[in-house]
């Protein structure tokens, strides 16, 4: 199988393709994007679950936003979508795995038994949820955190397959899940901070134009805007280009 970074990049790209497609894509069409990666059945299942779940969340978010336009009375518990509630119900019905059960599964994993990957993933679902909850905050979606954690776990299990180790596997897997979730959080928060910064700069330029136009009786030059806003001419031109693209 291809390396983890390339795999995750393709997954994210295909998720975006599915999200923006005018017509819903079939499982076969989705998996066609991974034809060069030689995925096994477990990997195909995980990819489909990841992408389809993301699509379901997108649809629910759209519906939620539409409802908000018509009412200010929001449901008290909006943190859990119907999809996530179903996920929690499924978790409650999963079998329990003792420490000994897990150790036996780990031993098979490091000795090259790929068949235990799905079982270990299932045994870890509740723990992934517990880890994800530690990183929950208003700007983040628990479903996204859980999905990223499960994906990070799966990728780590693939990496450990047949590579005997003296490490404490539970600690290794916990670290992998946390790193996957933290990486997602950092990326998402970073994107939002960039968006907020851009919005702030656009607002500043807009107000500066209004003030300078009133003072001078004509629209200010880029040089005048740069002096007033303390921004570089390059930044101002980039903002102008961005605004033109949005029209």
The CATH number linked to 213 is 1.10.10
Is 188 domain-assigned?
A: no
Phi and psi angles of residue 70, each rounded to the nearest 5 degrees, phi first: -105, -10
Note whether residue 199 is domain-resident: yes
Domain boundary among 75, 96, 126: 75
What is the Cα–Cα distance from 147 to 15, expressed in whole angstroms? 13
Give domain status of residue 26, yes or no: yes
Tokens 């996920």 sit on residue: 87
Residue 228 placed within a domain:
yes
Structure confidence at residue 195 (pLDDT): 61
Please report the pLDDT score of residue 102 as a whole number: 92
Contact of 31 with 48, CB cutoff 8 Å: yes
pLDDT of residue 55: 59
Q: What is the pLDDT of residue 157?
A: 93
| Residues contacting residue 152 through CB under 8 Å, at least 6 positions apart | 176, 177, 179, 180, 181
**Would you say the pTM of this structure is higher than 0.75?**
no
Residue 66: its H or E element: helix 41-68
What pLDDT is stored for residue 128 in this prediction? 94
- Collect the ranges in the chain with pLDDT lower than 70: 1-6, 8-9, 22, 52-81, 138-139, 189-200, 245-247
Indicate the residue among 51, 75, 99 that finishes a domain.
Answer: 75
Split into its structural domains, the chain has a count of 2
Q: How many CB atoms lie within 10 A of CB 34?
A: 18
- Identify whether 15 is part of a domain: yes
Q: What is the pLDDT of residue 230?
A: 76
**Containing domain of residue 226, as a range?**
195-246
Is residue 69 in some structural domain?
A: yes
Cα separations (Å) of 186 from 103, 128, 134?
A: 32, 18, 14
Q: Which residue has the tokens 């069409």?
A: 29
CA distances 143 to 71, 120, 126, 146, Å, are 25, 20, 13, 5
Say which residues have a Cβ less than 8 Å from residue 172's Cβ, sequence separation at least 6.
156, 160, 165
pLDDT score, position 150: 92
- Tell me the Ramachandran region of residue 217: left when phi exceeds 0, alpha when psi lies from -120 to 50, beta otherwise: left
pLDDT number for residue 189: 65
Domain boundary, last residue among 41, 75, 109:
75
pLDDT value at residue 33: 79
Do the beta carbons of residue 51 and residue 11 sit within 8 Å?
yes
Residue 213's nearest CA partner among 197, 202, 224 is 224
Q: Does a structural domain hold residue 179?
A: no
114 found inside a domain: no
């Amino acid at each position: 199988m291809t390396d983890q970074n390339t795999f995750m990049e393709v997954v994210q790209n295909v998720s975006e393709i599915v999200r923006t497609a005018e017509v819903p894509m079939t499982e076969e069409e989705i998996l066609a994007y991974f034809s060069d990666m030689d995925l096994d059945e477990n990997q195909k299942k995980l990819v489909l679950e990841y992408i389809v779940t993301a699509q379901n969340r997108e649809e629910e978010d759209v519906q939620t936003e539409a409802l908000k336009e018509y009412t200010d009375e929001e449901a008290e518990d909006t943190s859990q979508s119907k999809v996530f509630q179903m996920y929690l119900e499924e978790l409650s019905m999963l079998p329990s795995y003792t420490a000994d059960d897990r150790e036996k599964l780990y031993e098979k994993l490091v000795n090259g038994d790929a068949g235990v990957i799905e079982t270990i993933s299932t045994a870890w679902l509740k723990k992934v949820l517990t880890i994800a909850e530690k990183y929950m905050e208003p700007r983040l979606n628990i479903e996204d955190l859980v999905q990223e954690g499960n994906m990070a776990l799966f990728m780590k299990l693939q990496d450990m397959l047949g590579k005997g180790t003296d490490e404490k596997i539970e600690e290794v897997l916990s670290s992998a899940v946390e790193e996957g979730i933290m990486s997602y959080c950092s990326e998402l928060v970073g994107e939002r901070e960039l968006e907020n910064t851009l919005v702030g700069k656009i607002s500043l330029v807009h107000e500066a134009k209004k003030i300078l136009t009133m003072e001078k009786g004509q629209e200010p030059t880029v040089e005048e805007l740069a002096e007033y806003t303390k921004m570089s001419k390059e930044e101002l031109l980039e903002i102008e280009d961005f605004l033109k693209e949005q029209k």
